[in-house]
Chains A and B, each alone.
Chain A
Amino acid sequence: MQKGKKRFSLAITALTALSVVLSGCGGGGSTASGGEGTSEKPVELIWYTIGTPQKDVDTVMAEVSKYTTEKIGATVTMKMIDWGDYQQKMQVMVASGEPMDIIFTSSGGFDYVQNARKGAFMELDSLIDEYGQDLKNTIDPAFLEGSKVDGHNYAIPANKELPQQEVWRFNQNLIEEYKMDTSGVRTLDSLEPLLKTIKENAPDVTPFAMDKNYIPYVPYDYVIQNLPMAVKLDTTDYKVVNILETPEMKEALTTMRKYYQAGYIAPEAATTGSTSDLGISGKWLLDRAQTQPFADNVWSTSNGYPITSTPASDAIITNNSVQGSMMAISANSEYPEKAMQFLNLLNTDATLRNMVDSGIEGTHYKKTADNRMENLPESKNYDMPSYSLGNNMLLNLNPNDPDNKWDEFKTFNESGVDSPILSFNFDPKNVSSELAAVQNVKEQFWSSLMTGTVDPETYLPQAIEKFNQAGLEKVMAEAQTQLDAWKAENGK
């Protein structure tokens, strides 16, 4: 009887295994066969992008699909993943082969270079040549050039501000209410009087808003975002250093600690995923953000109350800014040609671009002039991050925007200074196990150090030691070797 039972289960096992294998094979392979991808029989493009999921996304995409069906024979389904979750969720979904066509990628969210190397994205060189000529003529060439990985393009960068400049953003209502002066603000230390005033006068307001991804600004450019290897911006010897060992970072962390202890920072900042609830309630005084020309208008419009800003750094063109917002075509996309056609249209067609950005005319916004618009109350159900959705320079102007907004962008782009390591892309192949260990250490220390939750006096040396134990020094040595080779090759 024992034997029979065994054989029986074996038979079942074999049968099920076979069916799994068969169904597995059925999946792939079928690319745009006859008759598909026309306006009669459109194909569906799945688009993953970053941002807090919006209530009206499906309604707007239905409208967008009508337009794209007619233009390129494709419908669009957009899936939004919240800021804090994007990196992690995309990692798993891409690895497990979830069907998708267009993926938002950047140096910060779902890392562009690393994932391009891992094969997550399709190489786009020939697709751009075939379907993306218009796009190529529209986008600032610095973007396409700066986002090449090992000589190939794996994503379409959004045409936007080229340099990256950090600013302090202020909730202007509070600034006025307490008659504060923001003109002298630039460094982290210079914020103290403002924070103090608010803490004393408005105890229910969070003076310094931040989430767990906050890092104090220091004049270095990171080799890999959010890992402690960096090169000083005014470097001459191109030396890769551990950012935690630099005097600038030490000082900044000590200040952060001081602010945290004074109660200027939310006690749970190190475990907070998003500060959007503060943005809605308006109960915050200041935070840090990356700017672009007339950003204050954009922020004020999207928050519904005035926001002002002052610079916290110079305008630097870094990999992070060049690769700050891109759209890649997934390696497992069933319709890469259609996806490319869509990206081409999105980056060149103002109607489509504005629909994706602002929603449906008459519902979410109304037009006030040829290229001007005003948000309607319904726009709170479709409040999208403009930077992540393609060519910014096609967007309609907001009521407060000057007519020369996009010219100002061009001027701003020209004013940017190149980071010394612009367009150097680190290849972690030889040190991947060290890098994984380093990542684990980073998870353990990063947020609590950067937000001032723990005392850098005791935790900074601990973190440095742990990082070195995990092999950071080896990773830095490898980065240095690659950087030196790159430097020689590019004649720096």
Chain B
Amino acid sequence: MGNFFKNINRNKALLFMVLPGTIWFFFFSYLPLAGTIVAFKEYRFSRDGFWASIFRSEWVGWDNFKFLFSTDDAFTITRNTLLYNLAFILLGLVFSVLLAIILSELVNRRLSKIYQTGMFLPYFLSWVIVGYFVFSFLSMDRGLLNQILGWFGMDPIQWYSEAKYWPYILIIVNLWKSIGYSSVVYLAAILGIDKSLYEAAMIDGASKWQQIRGITIPMLTPIMTIMTLLAVGKIFYADFGLFYQVPRDSGTLYAVTNVIDTYVYRGLMTTGEIGMSAAAGLYQSVVGFVLVIISNYVVRRVDKDSALF
């Protein structure tokens, strides 16, 4: 016991620093875990509040999971969530590294800063606002895109009921919003690269392109790996705002816009069956967990130092 307090005393500064994070995780990640049991219950209201309702509801085993798998919903939402996130990760990586390199090569520092800020700005916008931006482009009768189509004598397109365009729209909107942020990380890494490497390369007569391929990209690889791994860890969590606000909750688009998060939300909102929504949420967590374990395992085999754990 004495040892224990000694340890605390020795590390009090460090412990104090992790305290906010610990508290946050406890309240928002660990405490709600107890609620998982709702997934196995038929939730009924009790007058003594939420917790009493949970504990007094009847156990129903796996019944709540049935609705997920009785249609092809489970497949659709899993597929959408995974493929979109995969596209976001890959394209996001390519474009943000590209952008960072371009920004770093700009000679005019001031212009570079302006571009950087401009591209950073969308990251701070709420999805609701982005949703209206997109609407002003895609609105059937007043949208910019349909007007442009009209100038070329083409028929207007009902963007909000044509599912085939939405995979592209969602990917473009997401890249537009997130790329400025991630490119800053890479830009910082590029600026940290030892200038003498480039000087040496220039003396040897390397072209700009050779310098980028031979120096910049290899120096960025570790940070690219870490950023990608972190993203893979969240591959089963879709960005709710992107998939709910941007398509304006249009039913005809569900086949390509329904992801696990929106599905759980809609299930809870329309049926009010808390047990079933919790079941869908639990499914998401379990599959997400398995994915993280697998991807980490793969990375470990390839490069032990880059693995998360």
Residue B53 interfacial (CB < 8 Å): yes
A24 lies within 8 A of B51 (CB):
yes
B71 lies within 8 A of A470 (CB):
yes
- The minimal Cβ–Cβ distance linking A29 to chain B, given in whole angstroms, is 8
Partner of B45, one of A331, A440, A471: A331
- The minimal Cβ–Cβ distance linking A247 to chain B, given in whole angstroms, is 24
Which residues of chain B are near A471, meaning CB under 8 Å? 70
B270 lies within 8 A of A88 (CB):
yes
Taken residue by residue from 427 to 443, chain A's Cβ proximity to chain B (1 for < 8 Å, 0 otherwise) reads as 00000111111011111
B254 lies within 8 A of A444 (CB):
yes
Chain B residue with the shortest CB-CB distance to A466:
B71
Which residues of chain A are near B139, meaning CB under 8 Å? 267-268
- The minimal Cβ–Cβ distance linking A273 to chain B, given in whole angstroms, is 9
Determine the distance from Cα of A440 to Cα of B42 in the docked complex, in whole angstroms: 19
A96 lies within 8 A of B160 (CB):
no
Instruction: For chain A, residues 49 to 94, give those with C-beta under 8 angstroms from any C-beta of chain B.
Output: 87-88, 91-92, 94
Residue A201 interfacial (CB < 8 Å): no
Partner of A119, one of B10, B26, B44, B267: B44
A436 lies within 8 A of B45 (CB):
no
Residue A183 interfacial (CB < 8 Å): no
- The minimal Cβ–Cβ distance linking A11 to chain B, given in whole angstroms, is 10
Residue B11 interfacial (CB < 8 Å): yes
Q: Given contacts A13-B26, A267-B158, is CB(A435)–CB(B271) below 8 Å?
A: yes
Residue B289 interfacial (CB < 8 Å): no
Chain B residue with the shortest CB-CB distance to A115:
B272
Which residues of chain A are near B27, meaning CB under 8 Å? 16
Instruction: For chain A, residues 1 to 58, give those with C-beta under 8 angstroms from any C-beta of chain B.
Output: 1, 3-5, 7-9, 12-13, 16-17, 20, 24, 27-29
Determine the distance from Cα of A12 to Cα of B15 in the docked complex, in whole angstroms: 12
Which residues of chain B are near A439, meaning CB under 8 Å? 267, 270-271
Tally of contacts, chain A with chain B, CB under 8 A: 152
B160 lies within 8 A of A271 (CB):
yes
B269 lies within 8 A of A88 (CB):
yes
Taken residue by residue from 1 to 12, chain B's Cβ proximity to chain A (1 for < 8 Å, 0 otherwise) reads as 001100110110
Query: Which of B171-179, B245-253, B295-303 lies at the interface?
Result: B245-253
Residue A446 interfacial (CB < 8 Å): yes
Determine the distance from Cα of A91 to Cα of B272 in the docked complex, in whole angstroms: 6
Determine the distance from Cα of A270 to Cα of B160 in the docked complex, in whole angstroms: 9
Which residues of chain A are near B8, meaning CB under 8 Å? 4, 8
Instruction: For chain B, residues 241 to 269, give those with C-beta under 8 angstroms from any C-beta of chain A.
Output: 248-252, 254-255, 263, 266-269
Taken residue by residue from 114 to 150, chain A's Cβ proximity to chain B (1 for < 8 Å, 0 otherwise) reads as 1100111010000000000000000000000000000
- The minimal Cβ–Cβ distance linking A357 to chain B, given in whole angstroms, is 30
Which residues of chain B are near A470, meaning CB under 8 Å? 67, 70-71
A437 lies within 8 A of B67 (CB):
yes
Determine the distance from Cα of A231 to Cα of B306 in the docked complex, in whole angstroms: 64
Partner of B160, one of A7, A17, A268: A268
- The minimal Cβ–Cβ distance linking B252 to chain A, given in whole angstroms, is 5
Which residues of chain B are near A13, meaning CB under 8 Å? 26, 30
A434 lies within 8 A of B67 (CB):
yes
Which residues of chain A are near B140, meaning CB under 8 Å? 267-268
- The minimal Cβ–Cβ distance linking A185 to chain B, given in whole angstroms, is 26
Determine the distance from Cα of A88 to Cα of B26 in the docked complex, in whole angstroms: 29
Partner of B63, one of A115, A268, A433, A447: A433
B271 lies within 8 A of A436 (CB):
yes
Q: Given contacts A28-B49, A88-B269, A118-B272, is CB(A440)–CB(B251) below 8 Å?
A: no
Residue B66 interfacial (CB < 8 Å): yes
- Name, among A8, A88, A433, the residue most crowded by chain B CB atoms within 10 Å (CB to CB): A433
Chain A residue with the shortest CB-CB distance to B50:
A97
Residue B84 interfacial (CB < 8 Å): no
Residue B22 interfacial (CB < 8 Å): yes
Residue A332 interfacial (CB < 8 Å): yes
Partner of B67, one of A9, A16, A436, A447: A436
A9 lies within 8 A of B271 (CB):
no
Partner of B251, one of A435, A445, A469: A445
Q: Given contacts A271-B160, A271-B249, is CB(A436)–CB(B273) below 8 Å?
A: yes
Q: Given contacts A440-B71, A440-B73, A466-B71, is CB(A267)–CB(B141) below 8 Å?
A: yes
Determine the distance from Cα of A57 to Cα of B267 in the docked complex, in whole angstroms: 32
Which residues of chain B are near A369, meaning CB under 8 Å? none
Which residues of chain A are near B263, meaning CB under 8 Å? 440
Which residues of chain A are near B43, meaning CB under 8 Å? 95, 118
Residue B47 interfacial (CB < 8 Å): yes
Partner of A1, one of B7, B67, B160: B7
Which residues of chain B are near A92, meaning CB under 8 Å? 268-269
B249 lies within 8 A of A1 (CB):
no
Determine the distance from Cα of A445 to Cα of B255 in the docked complex, in whole angstroms: 11
Determine the distance from Cα of A331 to Cα of B26 in the docked complex, in whole angstroms: 31
Instruction: For chain B, residues 1 to 54, give those with C-beta under 8 angstroms from any C-beta of chain A.
Output: 3-4, 7-8, 10-11, 15, 22-23, 26-27, 30-31, 42-53
- The minimal Cβ–Cβ distance linking A330 to chain B, given in whole angstroms, is 8
Residue A453 interfacial (CB < 8 Å): yes
B50 lies within 8 A of A96 (CB):
yes
Determine the distance from Cα of A9 to Cα of B268 in the docked complex, in whole angstroms: 34
- The minimal Cβ–Cβ distance linking A408 to chain B, given in whole angstroms, is 38
A440 lies within 8 A of B4 (CB):
no
Which residues of chain A are near B100, meaning CB under 8 Å? none
Determine the distance from Cα of A432 to Cα of B7 in the docked complex, in whole angstroms: 54
Which residues of chain B are near A12, meaning CB under 8 Å? 22, 26
Chain A residue with the shortest CB-CB distance to B273:
A436
Determine the distance from Cα of A94 to Cα of B252 in the docked complex, in whole angstroms: 30
Taken residue by residue from 61 to 79, chain B's Cβ proximity to chain A (1 for < 8 Å, 0 otherwise) reads as 0011011001111000000
Which residues of chain A are near B161, meaning CB under 8 Å? 270, 448, 453-454
Which residues of chain B are near A442, meaning CB under 8 Å? 270
Which residues of chain B are near A268, meaning CB under 8 Å? 139-140, 160, 248
- Name, among A9, A16, A97, A469, the residue most crowded by chain B CB atoms within 10 Å (CB to CB): A97
Partner of A331, one of B11, B47, B254, B273: B47
- The minimal Cβ–Cβ distance linking A402 to chain B, given in whole angstroms, is 42
Q: A16-B23, A332-B49 are in contact. List 12 more A-B contacts (CB 8 A).
A: A5-B11, A17-B31, A97-B49, A271-B249, A332-B47, A333-B47, A436-B271, A436-B273, A436-B276, A448-B251, A466-B71, A470-B70
Closest 5 CB pairs of A and B: A267-B140, A4-B7, A119-B45, A433-B66, A91-B272
Residues of B within 8 A of A (CB): 3-4, 7-8, 10-11, 15, 22-23, 26-27, 30-31, 42-53, 63-64, 66-67, 70-73, 139-141, 158, 160-161, 248-252, 254-255, 263, 266-274, 276
Residues of A within 8 A of B (CB): 1, 3-5, 7-9, 12-13, 16-17, 20, 24, 27-29, 87-88, 91-92, 94-97, 114-115, 118-120, 122, 267-268, 270-271, 331-333, 432-437, 439-448, 453-454, 459, 466, 469-471
6 A-B residue pairs with Cβ-Cβ distance under 8 Å, sorted by A, are A28-B47, A28-B48, A88-B270, A270-B161, A270-B251, A440-B266
